[in-house]
Amino acid sequence: MVPASGDGGRDLGGREDAGRLTPMSNPCAANEESHAMNEVAMMSRYYLSPRREPQMDDVLSDPVVHLVMARDGVTLDDMRDVVASARARLLFRQMLAAESSF
């Protein structure tokens, strides 16, 4: 028999959010949230450590980066060309600095 209140026999305890799943009522959600928090912590430790940067492939595979590039009319090939050019200039400067130190 279903109570007339329509709450399916659950005791809402006067709480409006009693029907929502919380980490306490849904172990899977708690596990997913915990996993996401661990992932963020690991990435923070990796990228915030001294002299550590994300790999270019990781940056270029990020959907947010794709959205910004699309908005700006930039293609993946454009980005790769800019990065290759910057790398070449940096290597050239390093070579000049190494030569001048002798």
Total domains present in the chain: 2
pLDDT > 90 fraction of the chain, expressed in percent and rounded:
32
Higher pLDDT, 3 or 78: 78
pLDDT tens-digit profile of 24-51? 555 555 677 777 777 766 666 666 666 6
- Report whether 42 contacts 34 (CB < 8 A): no
Q: Do residues 49 and 68 both lie within one domain? A: no
Q: Do residues 73 and 32 both lie within one domain? A: no
Q: Around 66, how many Cα atoms within 13 Å sit in the side-chain half-sphere? A: 5
Q: Do residues 32 and 66 both lie within one domain? A: no
Owner of token pair 């430790």:
45
> Residue 69 belongs to what domain range?
54-102
Type of residue numbered 92: F
CA distances to 9, 33, 59 from 63, in Å: 44, 21, 9
pLDDT at 9: 47
Q: pTM of the prediction?
A: 0.45
Q: Do residues 44 and 68 both lie within one domain? A: no
17 located within any domain: no
Model confidence at 3, pLDDT cuts 50, 70, 90, reads very low
Give the integer Cα–Cα distance in Å for 8 and 6.
5
Q: Do residues 47 and 58 both lie within one domain? A: no
pLDDT > 70 fraction of the chain, expressed in percent and rounded:
58
